[in-house]
Amino acid sequence: MSKVAVITGGGSGLGQSCAIRLAEEGVNIAVVDVSDEGGNQTVEAVKELGQDAIFIKADVSKAEDVKRYVDETIEYFGTIDYFFNNAGISGSGAYFLETDIKEIEQIVGINLLGALYGIRYVAEVMLKNGGGSIVNTASSAGVIGQDTVVTYSATKHGIVGLTKSLVAEYAKDGLRVNAIAPGPTETPMVKSYFEANPKMKESAESGIPQKRLGTPEEVAELVTFLLTSKAEYINGEVIRIDGGFTNTKF
């Protein structure tokens, strides 16, 4: 019987690439996103690979939406084995004291509260079924400090703490929780950020020892490995995938 994965932010970028990669491994997918177009595109891509998929439109910053996407996944598939807790936004790139309070609230709501709500409801299902595997999306900005992304960085440092503390509480019950910390990656979110802040792209590329951005497909390989049984004894880790970017900073 096929495993079932829930992927938030599944309509583009890392979420979409991971959905496709998991489908190649025979996994059925519940795609969660705010974009109808992107979410349905991912569903079609998964189905073309012979796996089942559904799209659930949801705003992860709202607890009621999160509970609904979990309930709808259970109603359709009957279980949740894997969770890629991935939805996030970067913000405008303004310095912190120039950032609008509404933007701060939006970033925290989606990136941190959305991740907390997701695990609150998904892990509850997993533990009833004897366990499961979760990968949270942190960031290079979750392991070092970076300018122009103060609020984003704060939420991603929060993801690191969330990952480690959940393992302390629930590893004994069969829950595996790891995080990825991607550096600058060629996703729509990063491209949009660099378009608004062109000097940051040049700075990022020059600061990466491998002298290029990562690709969503490379990140999807790591996420798929961490979610599946190939990584059964990896728990509570925050794995950097950044071409050496953060190793050169501090």
- Number of residues that this document lists for the chain: 250
Least confident of 5-9, 39-43, 118-122, 200-204: 200-204
pLDDT tier for residue 153 given thresholds of 50, 70 and 90: very high
Sign of CA dihedral 28, 78, 37, 198: negative
Position 250 scores a pLDDT of 56
**Catalytically annotated residue among 69, 82, 121, 152:** 152
Q: For residue 133, how many other CB atoms are within 10 A of its CB?
A: 24
Domain ranges of the chain: 4-248
* Topology at the third CATH level for domain 4-248: Rossmann fold (3.40.50)
Q: What is the pTM of this model?
A: 0.94
186 confidence band (pLDDT: 50, 70, 90): confident
List own/partner pairs for 127-131 with CB under 8 A and 24 or more apart: 127/170, 127/173, 127/174, 127/175, 129/79, 129/80, 130/174, 131/173, 131/174, 131/175, 131/176
Residue 221 pLDDT > 90: yes
Query: Taking residues 118-139, what's their average pLDDT?
Result: 98
Q: Which residues contact 11 (CB under 8 A, 6 or more apart)?
A: 31, 33, 34, 35, 37, 38, 39, 41, 42, 55
Region 77-92: mean pLDDT is 97
How high is the pLDDT of residue 204? 73
Q: What is the mean pLDDT of residues 99-118?
A: 98
Calpha distance 8→21 (Å, rounded): 15
The answer to whether residue 95 is catalytic is: no
